[in-house]
Amino acid sequence: MTASTAKAQRFREFKMPDVGEGLTEAEILKWYVQPGDTVTDGQVVCEVETAKAAVELPIPYDGVVHELNFGEGVTVDVGTVIISVDTDPGAGPAEAPAANGTEQAAAAPEDEDAEPQGRQAVLVGYGAAPSSTKRRARKPQPGVPAQPASAPIQAELNGRAAPAPMAAPVAAPAAPAAPVVPAAPVVPAASAAGAGSAGRPLAKPPVRKLAKDLGIDLATITPTGPGGIITREDVHAAAAPAVAPSLAEVPEPMAVATAVAPAEPGIVDAAARERRVPVKGVRKATAQAMVASAFTAPHVTEFITVDVTRTMKLVQELKQDPDMAGLRVNPLLLVAKAFLVAIKRHPEVNASWDEAHQEIVYKDYINLGIAAATPRGLIVPNIKDAGVKTLPQLAAELGDLVATAREGKTSPAAMAGGTVTITNVGVFGVDTGTPILNPGESAILAFGAVKLQPWVHKGKVTARQVTTLALSFDHRLIDGELGSKLLADVAAVLERPKRLITWG
């Protein structure tokens, strides 16, 4: 056994696992241990946030924490070493092998415990496959340097680079022997420094807009910003009335060089009042899912307004029912039950589109998703086999689902496999909306606010409790007739909740 192998066996490295189905990265939210702490097999050492949920990671070794490779708030790729543990601290001091270092690479053929190449070990699922995509190198352009000096500045303008360092003060130009008044405007040579690789002057979008509004050609402006960037002050200076060449007295060269036109009153740089937040975690996953759904599944949304006075009375009666004691009873519970009953009457709604195999997958189970707004963003956990649950069982699972989501403890498995979803926008006082399908699902029902409104009831106008429902569905799976029948049945149950018995 080589020395490298002995070190590797003593200092065990724990890599970021795939804690969901094919996730490629996770952010370290919190470390529960520090170097020097004793850990045992199965002890939770950190909490990470993936695109789906916050998950606690247990360490699979006994020993003493040797090193934490990343701090809190850092996003780490799956398969990267995040912590090393000394499994034999009593053996005396020893140098831990560097993570992914050259010494380990050289000793790999002799290390029988080396992990095989390919997908890494995961907690859930099969892991993320190694990327096979390779970026083709750019062909160098004739006469263009490989890394132009303006490239970092242009990247910063595009929002992809760290803020540029503060530029050193610009030295005042030496006074000329005699002032020379040009016969015609001449583009200063210094403006070449403010041009990008394609000859385009460097300026931020607000500055370009200002120049356009003032009728100023950016190519004629001498940049004073760091790295040759044209600033707002440069534009204002160019827009100010030029010094007349016919003046009897020519100002001192130094005064001309240092004079800067004052900023127009009331104009404030918009960038100073903006803040940028990295897109990651749940927000990143939500954005990707919504874009994929909106531009993949052809959405159709239908609306219906319904008198739910009887349903609201039933909610109050159920709260007093001994069988519902200790359970959360609210209008959403009965809307969910009405949705499930309507789907049972139209089971072909409960399906998904398999683009790869060009098939429609009809499902004999209903996993009912509930859109939940949490401090981490919007998530959609679902109740498994909701269609076969009794009302008390549905109430219990709905309460657990919402409580777990608010605590940020929803697992990736709880958000997988949904077939249809309900979003309760009424809690925000909103009448209704046009909800976007959760990817892979066939329909989503929006439940609006319940309000007291004038309504014709038994031939007379009277105050009734009314709400508006909106149903969005995948038009590849659900035709207009089928979608209309489904929504009408949901409304019919809520209008006369006794249909929960006659139809259920």
| Catalytic residue ranges | 475
Determine the straight-line distance between the first and last CA of the chain, rounded to whole angstroms: 70
Phi (first) and psi of residue 445, to 5 degrees: -110, 125
Question: Would you list the DSSP string of 17-47?
Answer: PB-SSS--EEEEEEES--TT-EE-TT-EEEE
CA distance 340 to 395: 13
State both tokens at 306.
């319904």
The DSSP bridge pattern shows strands 368-370 and 420-423 to be parallel
State both tokens at 341.
């009953």
- Return the H-helix or E-strand segment holding 284: helix 281-294
Are 473 and 420 in contact, with CB atoms under 8 Å apart?
Answer: no
State both tokens at 475.
């038009």
Q: How large is the C-alpha radius of gyration of the chain?
A: 33
* Percentages (nearest 5) of helix, strand, coil residues in the chain: 30, 20, 45
Are 83 and 28 in contact, with CB atoms under 8 Å apart?
Answer: no
Are 300 and 372 in contact, with CB atoms under 8 Å apart?
Answer: no
Question: Would you list the DSSP string of 169-200?
Answer: PPPPPPPPSS----SS----GGGGGGB-TTSP
State both tokens at 26.
């996770």
CA distance 295 to 282: 20
Are 183 and 141 in contact, with CB atoms under 8 Å apart?
Answer: no
